[in-house]
A and B are shown apart, each in its own frame.
Chain A
Amino acid sequence: MVANVISNVATGARSKSIAAIGPYLKSFSIVIVFVVISAFFAVANEYFMTWLNWVNLLRQSSINGVLAIGVTFVILTRGIDLSVGSVMALAGMIAASLVTSTNQHFVLWAVLAGLGTGALLGLLNGVIVTTFNVPPFVATLGMLSMARGLTLIFSDGRPVPNLSESFRWIGGGSVAGVPVPVLILFLVFATGWVVLSYTTFGRYVYAVGGNDKAAKTSGISTRTVIASTYVISGLLAGLAGLVLTSRTTAALPQAGIGYELDAIAAVVIGGTSLAGGRGSLVGTLFGALIIGTINNGMDLMGVSSYYQQLLKGAIIVVAVMLDQFRK
């Protein structure tokens, strides 16, 4: 399925001329799609437009949003990261093991361990891709399985329950009425946006994805840039794993299975080209919100989950189709 999505988008991405104003135009159109979908659900269900529901919706989108922001960096360099679902499970599991009732450490160590695990596996992905020239699809597919295996080995297939109160705050707490996962999402988004738009590194990411050879000849260390995007993706997968584990109040060996697909879908809906060099985090953020809105809205209306699957797939394809058509 991933392969399908990828080839669809890759063959469809042709006009590079739009690249200059692209990000702004694109984010604008994705916002319209988001508004239309929200309006549809608002008319169809009386609860959709309540404050409580929007808090729910944002919280429900936060994990996918954080994952998708990391994956956007990788996809901008023409890569892909299929391992984020498994990496988040391992990171969550390792962090959780440090804050159980029998092995209670300061919560910051657990957070650092989770983030460190994610970043380390991301670095491994990056090295395998850049130094050993393994295609990103294969390298991260391997990591998807390896990280899951490590999670099962580490946990012996058993959940890690009874996590400390302070650790549970990450996923369950709120600050001034805003859930912590939502704050995390917006912090990650803001940081990522600044990095991509205003730093040299951000420009390098676009340059490497847009034209690898040109970037190299102009003196950019493309390997370092590419490897760094995998570290970012892994780090954010680790962060998402902390939020997930904290929200479910137990680390589960099967957590996060298939989450990479929703993350990639959010990036694609957000208009980032799988051919690299073109896209924005604004698009990704709204891509994640659109997926969250579809899930939430259809649940509110009591649509059978069988139809939900069908409609969700159709909306992904239609969103990208409209985007191509508009050009």
Chain B
Amino acid sequence: MKFTRRSTMAGFAAAAIILSTSTAFAQSKTRIAALSFGESGEYMKAWSSEIQSHPAVKDGSVAVTIFDGKYDPLVQANQIDTAITQKFDAIIMSPFDLQASTPAIDKAIAARIPVIVSALKTASKNYTASIIVNDTEGGRIIGEQLGKLLPNGGNVVLMEGPIGQSAQIERKAGIDAGLAKFPKLKLIASKSGNWSRAEGQSLMENWLLAHPGQINAVLAENDEMALGAIEAMKSAKVDFKSVPVLAIDGIPDGKRAVQKGEMTITLYKYARAEGQGAVDLALRAVKGDSYKPRSEIWESLMEWKGGAQKDYVVPWLLLDSSNVAKYM
């Protein structure tokens, strides 16, 4: 029992240190709450570390607290309540759910805290500004690229995100529009793989059994599922390099697969743009019109336009074997 008690104390002590270091800085600076929809996913993790490496955060003039939404809109609603109680100066939110995020965002706005929506959309109309890639456009691009890769047509399978999430709805609409321009391409199967590599893998295994030798191309609404499909083709001894795989997100593993020639195209969603761009928009909302943005993305990728726009659209970067090395 002695041992247990000592380690309990050590646990509490360690906790206290972690806690006190994170709160000690919090006074007399601009405080921003960043609500990630789920810190166990690779993209969101990249998003929050980009936020923490924004120049204003690094030089200590801004303190950021990252909240993990755990893929649960209720958790995010609770965290907005917490951010209001804590009187944060601004909130950056990546809403897990289009509809369910609405009351939480409206509540923060009513409490006079600016809300910058980043990475995923909300149905609320009251947010301060948004900085998001155009998912419909992303879907359209991979649909059209596939049409160019297979000018004589072929059978396509499609892996979808969780049905009903804004990214799924929009990427699907874009893919449909892109494929519609190439009537020789035939969609023979489509199902949700819930953004997951494991689910994408079993989905592909089943399709390879159901349509032996007939699948000519794979479209996936994110990289993880495409990577699962590639694994499935490898173990089924399919000549996978002859089957183009096109996906969206450009996560590190996805880029590695493009470099190895296993994935044909991925659209790179630049976490720095959605993360750091949101910090600049939040600071502008706090400090006023004269604020000058400090992230390099406003020079390399996007136009600031005085920070006065409500919706900023982050462009996709198309990565294939010819340019992927630059973005590794």
Contact = CB atoms under 8 A, between A and B. Distances in A.
Contacts of B67: 299, 305
A158 B20 CA distance: 42
Contacts of B23: 44-45, 301-302
Interface residue range, chain A: 35 or more
A249 B1 contact: no
Contacts of B216: none
B106 to A, nearest CB: 10
Contacts of A321: 4
Given A307-B18, A314-B11, A318-B8, A302 B82 contact: no
A137 to B, nearest CB: 25
Contact of B97 (A156, A252, A298, A301): A252
Given A252-B97, A302-B26, A247 B77 contact: yes
Interface residue range, chain B: 35 or more
A225 interface: no
B15 A307 contact: yes
Instruction: Choose among A158, A305, A318 the residue with the greatest number of B CB atoms under 10 Å from its CB.
Output: A305
B206 interface: no
Contacts of A56: 78, 81-82, 85
Contacts of A159: 97-100, 164
A79 B153 CA distance: 58
B85 A50 contact: yes
A244 B163 CA distance: 20
B190 interface: no
B313 interface: no
B99 A300 contact: no
Contacts of B39: 305-306
Interface of A: 40, 44-45, 47, 50, 52-53, 56, 59-60, 63, 156-159, 161-162, 168, 172, 244, 247-250, 252-255, 257, 295-296, 298-308, 311, 314, 318, 321, 325
Interface of B: 1, 4, 8, 11-12, 15-16, 18-20, 22-23, 26, 39, 65-68, 70-74, 77-79, 81-82, 84-87, 97-100, 102-103, 123, 162-164, 192
Given A247-B74, A299-B78, 17 more contacts: A40-B12, A44-B19, A56-B85, A59-B81, A158-B164, A159-B98, A161-B98, A172-B103, A249-B100, A255-B74, A295-B78, A300-B82, A302-B65, A305-B67, A311-B11, A321-B4, A325-B1
